[in-house]
Structure 1
Amino acid sequence: MRRLLKRLRDHGDDRGVSMLEFAGFLPILLVIGMAAIQLGLVGYGINQAGSGARAAARVASQDGDGAAAGTASVSGWLDPEPEVAKGAETTTATVIVHVPSVIPLFGGGWDVQRSATMPNDNDDD
C-alpha cells in the first residue's frame, strides 16, 4: 500500500512540474506568435504600397488622377499617402503606408514606402 501511495505522489508531482513549465513558457510562445503576425503585416504593407505605386504611376502616365488610383488600390486601414511626379518621359509614383503594431512594446508601427515608374502615354504615335 505504501508503494502505491508513493507512486501516485510521484506522478502527481511530475504533472504539476510540467504544468508549471508550460505556464512559464506560454508568454514566450505568445510573443513569438505576435512577432510572426507583425512580420506578416509588414509584408502585406510592402505588397500594398507596391501595388498602390504601380496603379498611381500607370493612371498618372495616361493623364489620369494617379493619387486617387493609388489610394483606391490600397487597403484603407493602412492609411496610404500617394505622391505622383510626372516628368517629360516618365511618371514616378511613391506610396507610403502606415503598418500598425500588434506588439504594444514596439510603439505605433512602421511606415513602408514603395515607388514605381511608368513611361508616359504619348498620343503622337
Structure 2
Amino acid sequence: KGSFYYNIQQLEEKRLIQRISEMRESESRERNKYILTDLGITEFNRLMTKYGTKTDYVNLSFYGAMLFEEEFDKEKMREIILVQIKQTEKKISLIEDALANRSTLMKSFVRMLENSISHHKVNVKWFYELLKEIDSEL
C-alpha cells in the first residue's frame, strides 16, 4: 500500500498523471481516478520505445512493453518489432559465426550456443507473426 501511493505521488509531482476526484452518491468518501497528462503520454511513448527496443536474453524488457501494446501507436509498435527482428537476427549471425569454429570450442559451449540460437530463431518467428498481426490492423 505504501509504495503504491508513494509512486502515485511521484507521478503527480512529475506531472505525468493528473488526479480526478469524484464523489459518488452511494459512497461517503471521495474516489480518485488518474489520467495521463500530455507529459505522461510523452513519457509513456519514450518508455515503450526504450524497453520495446531493448533486447535481453529472455526479452523481459520487450515482454514488459508488450503488456501495453494495445495502448501504443501501431506504427511505432511495428518499428519496435522491426528493431527486435534486426537485433535478434544479428545475435543469430554472431552465434553462427562462433559455431563456424565449433572444432575449437568446448563441446558444452557448442551445446549452449546451439540452444541459444534455437531460442533466438523461435523469437524471430514470433516477431514476424506479431508484425503480420499489426500489419493487418493498419
Q: Which structure has the larger Rg over C-alpha atoms?
A: 1
> Larger relative CO (CA 8 A, sep 6+): 1 or 2?
1
TM-score calculated relative to the size of structure 1: 0.35
